[in-house]
Amino acid sequence: MPDTTTPALVDSHCHLDFPELIEDLPGVLERAETAGVTRMVTICTDLRKEPTIRALAENHASLFYAAGTHPMSAARHPLATVEQLVEISKHPKMVGIGETGLDYHYTADSADVQKESLSIHIEAAQRTGLPLIIHARDADKDMARILSDGHAQTPFNCVMHCFSSTRELAQTALELGFYLSMSGIAAFPRSKELRDIFAAAPIERILVETDAPYLAPPPHRGKRNEPAFVAHTAAVGAELFGMTPEDFARQTSANFDRLFTKAAA
């Protein structure tokens, strides 16, 4: 049973279908509950796996899901269609579009396909009213331009998942009314510049996540990440904003409810 004194947290982005976690799912969920993590959004990055991830959400009250095509996979799989994403979004536990975005660090050669895929996901977010979930790496100028242009045409909601980009992209996102999500990267000792970017943002626009099984925060860095560990990142966030852990958990959960309205408590 969870400790009733533990502040309730949300892991707004994880990948529970990945082998590192699915093989230990009962334990992962039990440890999350013990750590006070009351809700999790597990992300489908390959629409061929959407039925499996949908079933996870259907079978566990604490789980919700989002679906899209990861930018690093955009050139390897058939592009999603707006109609496909809109149809999937009708499920009551499907709460977001993505993750989508641009990644020029590893897959710059597929930039054009990534942009096309991103545009499809933006239109799906505009049509459904669900928040867009953005992955951005080494593509800040294109990302800022595409998001700004799309928002100017038809406004949409968005979270910059696992934000670790520049101050300029953070400012663009915040000016558009978007949210920044803190992952374990923000807790790394050498991430002071990133923490400064978060600290300069309105607390009302901050979410927390694990991106599990990746990017475990200290003291678990280098090991498999899991939703329970979002508490460590939240502790860093609370200190950063000069808040108690309870108030930080309460605020980031309220932020999550405001953005992910279908998963609101």
Strand order in the sheet with 206-208: 9-14, 37-44, 63-67, 94-103, 132-137, 158-160, 179-182, 206-208
Is 3 part of any domain?
no
- Residue 115: CB atoms within 10 A of its CB come to 18
pLDDT at residue 1, as a whole number: 46
Cα–Cα distance for residue pair 98/240, rounded to 1 Å: 28
Residue 109 labelled as part of a binding site: no
Is 24 part of any domain?
yes
Number of domains in the chain: 1
Cα–Cα distance for residue pair 220/95, rounded to 1 Å: 29
Residue 99 labelled as part of a binding site: yes
Residue 15 labelled as part of a binding site: yes
Cα–Cα distance for residue pair 141/197, rounded to 1 Å: 17
Give me the helices (H) in the chain, please.
19-22, 25-34, 50-59, 82-88, 111-128, 140-153, 167-175, 192-199, 230-240, 245-259
DSSP 8-state code for residue 154 = S
At 133, is the secondary structure helix, strand, or coil?
strand
Q: Residue 55 belongs to what domain range?
A: 9-263
Is 60 part of any domain?
yes
Is 4 part of any domain?
no
Residue 121 labelled as part of a binding site: no
**pLDDT per residue as tens, the chain (265 positions):** 445 556 799 999 999 999 999 999 999 999 999 999 999 999 999 999 999 999 999 999 999 999 999 999 999 988 999 999 999 999 999 999 999 999 999 999 999 999 999 999 999 999 999 999 999 999 999 999 999 999 999 999 999 999 999 999 999 999 999 999 999 999 999 999 999 999 999 999 999 999 999 999 999 999 999 999 999 999 999 999 999 999 999 999 999 999 999 999 6
Is 259 part of any domain?
yes
Which two tokens mark 71?
């930018």
Is 50 part of any domain?
yes
Domain of 76, CATH number, reads 3.20.20.140
Is 199 part of any domain?
yes
Is 1 part of any domain?
no
Cα–Cα distance for residue pair 101/58, rounded to 1 Å: 27
At 92, is the secondary structure helix, strand, or coil?
coil
